[in-house]
């Protein structure tokens, strides 16, 4: 199965919309809400560089104050609806404390590297791109406050529903901006902070894109991956058909001969009746003859509907998909017209359905009514299931994209970790209010990798 590697450092560096260093102060409201949790003061340094090779100026650049950390942290958890004073949210709050301080320290590191690489000098076109994203971001926030703005201005829907009411629109927008800025002030933030976040994120993205130029996944690597996955699929099928069916990636490169694509109609008995029959069959000493009798009674209640579906499905020129939509209890708009893969030898369907399916001789053939504990089924044998050369070519494109992304993430993670080691970042865990993670030993790492 294709798996995307975890990209913790890269994600912390640039993935979140609000990454950045806030230079705000904590409001009295925020301080009061957390007065029993926090011991730090605004200007306390909670993260700093320790490398002796750094100049005093660089060390000062890498310092992160509590006010930088807490403003962004408080803003973030508020927007996720997390109350840090509530014990039920303790683990979530601690996660975001570590997440935010990691983002801030990674950002400092990457911005310094951007300066060294000459990537922090933005062109007019790049500034326009940043400004556009910044403006759209603020517009989204303003829209959240439109309803409240109307209420505070005393405007009704009738007064604002006109197509040409620019005066009221302007009043609403200005009020929404005012409300949003009042909200930001609770965290010591301003709209300008958003522009700084947007700019810093853009610069970080440039640094990562420069790193990504080193990554190139060849066609030979993709072919090797697909060949290996194909071998795994065949082995899984030989050992356990169920295991083969569990991994959806297998069927993208290899499908066992004799497998079929089908469509079906299911006319169900009631869910309660079906559950009763199913439960009865699992009881110790179950009398299947009596259970079959009960099932047949329930099937008789839907026989006319099922027969009508079969008559329509087998009529000359019939549209099987249309009959599925009209009669099948399993119909869904999201899967309309799609086929279902039945793997040769599968045990994931009723035995009677499997047996009746494999009695159908050619694509297009339709079964009669097939009774089951769930209701009547009508099967259509659509085609033989196989992986075509075109299928593999399309899948190869996905593999190449995913392998490339994995390698990019691994490179970003390892590079940022290397840069962190060079800086030697340390945290004041007591003031940041979360515990330091225990460092992995080499044996721990080996054990973890073996487990994965």
Interval 73-94: pLDDT, tens: 999 999 999 988 888 999 999 9
- Please tell me the distance from the alpha carbon of residue 18 to that of residue 138, in angstroms, as a whole number: 12
- Please tell me the distance from the alpha carbon of residue 5 to that of residue 317, in angstroms, as a whole number: 50
Output the pLDDT for position 159: 57
Output the pLDDT for position 439: 62
The CATH architecture annotation of domain 258-386 reads Roll (3.10)
CATH 3.10.50.40 positions along the chain are 258-386
Output the pLDDT for position 423: 97
- Please tell me the distance from the alpha carbon of residue 203 to that of residue 115, in angstroms, as a whole number: 10
164: which 2 tokens?
């040409």
| pLDDT tens figures, 177-223 | 999 999 999 998 999 999 999 999 999 999 999 999 999 999 999 99
| pLDDT tens figures, 19-47 | 333 333 334 344 434 456 898 999 999 99
Higher-pLDDT residue of 109 and 450 is: 109
Q: Which residue has the tokens 């909200």?
A: 183
15: which 2 tokens?
């993935």
pLDDT above 90: residue 443: no
Please, which residues bridge with residue 261 across strands?
341, 383
- Please tell me the distance from the alpha carbon of residue 425 to that of residue 376, in angstroms, as a whole number: 67
| pLDDT tens figures, 376-401 | 999 999 999 999 999 999 999 999 99
Q: Taking the model in full, what pTM does it have?
A: 0.74
CA atoms within 13 A on the CB side of 30: 24
- Please tell me the distance from the alpha carbon of residue 385 to that of residue 24, in angstroms, as a whole number: 61
| pLDDT tens figures, 231-274 | 999 999 999 999 999 999 999 999 999 999 999 999 999 999 99
The number of beta carbons lying within 10 Å of the beta carbon of residue 172 is 21
Rounded to an integer, the average pLDDT of 367-377 is: 97
Rounded to an integer, the average pLDDT of 340-355 is: 95
Please, which residues bridge with residue 405 across strands?
none
């Amino acid at each position: 199965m294709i798996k995307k590697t975890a990209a913790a450092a890269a994600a912390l560096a640039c993935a979140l919309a609000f990454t950045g260093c806030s230079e705000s102060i904590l409001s009295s409201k925020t301080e009061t809400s957390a007065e029993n949790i926090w011991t730090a003061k605004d200007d306390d340094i909670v993260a700093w560089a320790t490398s002796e090779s750094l100049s005093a100026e660089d060390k000062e650049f890498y310092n992160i104050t509590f006010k930088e950390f807490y403003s962004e942290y408080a803003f973030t958890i508020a927007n996720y609806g997390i109350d840090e004073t509530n014990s039920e949210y303790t683990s979530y709050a601690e996660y975001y404390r570590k997440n935010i301080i990691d983002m801030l320290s990674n950002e400092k590191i990457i911005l310094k590297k951007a300066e060294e690489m000459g990537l922090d000098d933005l062109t007019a076109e790049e500034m326009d791109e940043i400004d556009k994203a910044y403006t759209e971001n603020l517009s989204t926030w303003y829209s959240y406050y439109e309803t409240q703005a109307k209420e505070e201005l005393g405007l009704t829907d009738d007064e604002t529903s006109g197509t040409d009411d620019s005066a009221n629109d302007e009043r609403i927008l200005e009020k929404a901006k005012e409300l949003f800025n009042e909200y930001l002030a609770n965290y010591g933030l301003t709209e300008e902070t958003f522009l700084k976040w947007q700019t810093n994120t853009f610069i970080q993205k440039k640094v990562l894109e420069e790193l990504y130029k080193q990554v190139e996944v060849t066609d030979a690597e993709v072919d090797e991956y697909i060949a290996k996955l194909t071998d795994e699929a065949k082995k899984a099928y030989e050992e356990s058909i169920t295991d083969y069916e569990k991994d959806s990636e297998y069927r993208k490169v290899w499908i066992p001969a004799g497998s079929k694509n089908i469509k079906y109609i299911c006319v169900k008995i009631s869910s309660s009746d079906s559950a009763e029959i199913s439960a009865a069959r699992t009881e110790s000493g179950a009398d299947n003859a009596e259970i079959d009798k009960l099932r047949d009674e329930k099937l008789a209640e839907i026989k006319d509907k099922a027969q009508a579906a079969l008559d329509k499905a087998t009529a000359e020129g019939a549209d099987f998909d249309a009959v599925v939509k009209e009669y099948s209890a399993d119909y869904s708009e999201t899967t309309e017209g799609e086929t279902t893969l039945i793997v040769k030898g599968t045990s994931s369907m009723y035995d009677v359905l499997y047996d009746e399916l494999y009695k159908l001789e050619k694509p297009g053939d339709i079964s009669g009514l097939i009774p089951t504990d769930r209701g009547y089924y009508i099967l259509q044998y659509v085609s033989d299931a196989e992986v075509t050369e075109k299928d593999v070519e399309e899948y190869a494109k996905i593999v190449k994209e995913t392998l490339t992304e994995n390698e990019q993430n691994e490179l970003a993670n390892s590079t940022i970790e290397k840069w962190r080691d060079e800086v030697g970042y340390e945290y004041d865990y007591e003031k940041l209010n979360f515990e330091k993670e225990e460092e992995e030993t080499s044996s721990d790492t080996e054990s973890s990798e073996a487990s994965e």
